[in-house]
Amino acid sequence: MSGDDDGLRGALDRAAAYMLDATVLERIGIAIASTALALCIGLLIVAAAGHNPLLFANQLVIGSFGSERAVARTLTFSVLFVLAGIAVAIAFRAGVFNIGVQGQFIVGGFATVASIVSLAPYLPDGTVGGIVLMLVGTLAAVVAGGLYAALPGVLKAYGDANEIITTIMLNFIAIGFVGWLVAGRFSDPEATATRTERLPDNVGFPSVVFDDPNLSIVGIGATIAVVALIAVIMTRTSFGYDMVTSGHQESAATYSGVDAKRMIVSTMTLSGMVAGLTGAIFAIMIQGYFTDPSGIGNYGFDAIAVSLLAANNPVGVVPAGLLFGGLESAGSHIQINSDVPVQLIDGIVGLVVLFVAVPELFRMMAQRTGLGGDRE
């Protein structure tokens, strides 16, 4: 309503216009400032709760990169956040809201363990057999994650079902179904916790750099390779141009010869494949078996914030993933080494997520709703 510009709308318009005009550097600056502001407020809350905020800040630093162990732990989490963040970024860039990365990650991780455990008796022990098993397991994860994401893609493209709702529901189905298999058909009768059998000894990535059983150069390498591959696909291939154009302006993409329905399915599939790969690396590099998925960290959900923080740019996902990895790592350190309750730590991490995601979210909304005035 042009005749009804009031203060709030005007302020929103100006803010939106600023965000839309912000350069990449300014946006990075905004992200850093948001993080700092969130941490400051977090420290105030820590103080208000009767804990020493300086000690807390100190623990935060030590816990994320204060020792070789902390760095290794940060990198371990970061691998998961970066990969899952890439999965989210692929879909968001194409204008498809895949909220089901968590479910695809679980399905993928379980497919890895299930296929390796089932095939292991038929393959020789030793390195060669191990490599074959890991390749098969990773492939199984990528296929399973891809298919599990293709399903909501097909439902959206050909059945007009909102992908946000279907992917969220499929998360629950993944947790329930994989949980049932882990507790039943695949459970390890000798284990006290609910989990599958351990992967055979010849399955596992070598650590090489850090002497940490949960972190491997193979995982880091695979992550960097996926980042590079997706960045190249998005910027240098016809498919990537089709995909990103669909996300910006679907009608223009259709005009240029993109089949919108097929693009939705392809995007979801690719996103799910990366989510599945994340699951494979989680299973092989970190767990070595698969536990009840309701107890697995919310990497697929946090990845949404990682991707938003990175403005859905695959390269930007790396620093964003490192930040989240660092926070997660610091959180687990503080939990053990101080009396700050775990809920408070989670709350502060949540605050950071909120602060860094909101500016980008606002920007995306402004783009979609035409806030910020006529962009001509």
Which positions touch another protein (CB under 8 A)? 1-6, 10, 236-239, 241-242, 245, 248-249, 251-252, 254-259, 367, 375-376
Q: Write down the residue that tokens 């994320």 correspond to.
A: 64
Tell me whether residue 206 or residue 257 sits nearer to another protein (CB atom). 257
Instruction: Give the containing element (helix H, strand E) for 360.
Output: helix 342-369
Residue type, 195: R
Nearer to another protein (CB atom), residue 221 or residue 373: 373
Query: What is the C-alpha separation between 254 and 260, in angstroms, rounded?
Result: 6
CB closer to another protein out of 158 and 255: 255
Name which of 141 and 157 has its Cβ closer to another protein.
157
Distance separating alpha carbons of residues 225 and 247, to the nearest angstrom? 24
Q: Cβ 264 to another protein, closest distance in Å?
A: 16
Look up residue 197 and give its DSSP letter.
P
Rounded least distance, CB 367 to another protein, Å? 8
* Nearest distance, CB of residue 249 and another protein, angstroms: 5
**Of 11 and 135, CB closest to another protein:** 11
Nearer to another protein by Cβ, of 1 and 48: the residue is 1
Alpha helix positions (H), 22-100: 24-48, 53-65, 68-93
d(CA 85, CA 74): 16
| 273: its two tokens | 């494949």
Of 195, 184, 172, 215, the C-alpha closest to 80 is: 215
Assign 3-class secondary structure to 133-191.
Answer: HHHHHHHHHHHHHHHHHHHHHHHHHHHCCCHHHHHHHHHHHHHHHHHHHHHCCCECCCC
Class of residue 207 by CB neighbours under 10 A (exposed 0-12, middle 13-18, buried 19+): middle
The position carrying tokens 């259709």 is 254
- φ/ψ of residue 338, rounded to 5: -145, 170
C-alpha–C-alpha distance, residues 208 and 212, integer Å: 9
Closer to another protein by CB, 248 or 337: give it.
Answer: 248
- Could you tell me the end-to-end alpha-carbon distance of the chain, in angstroms, rounded to an integer? 18
Nearer to another protein among residue 134 and residue 230 (C-beta)? 230
- The torsion angle over the Cα atoms of residues 39, 40, 45 and 47, rounded to 10 degrees, is 120
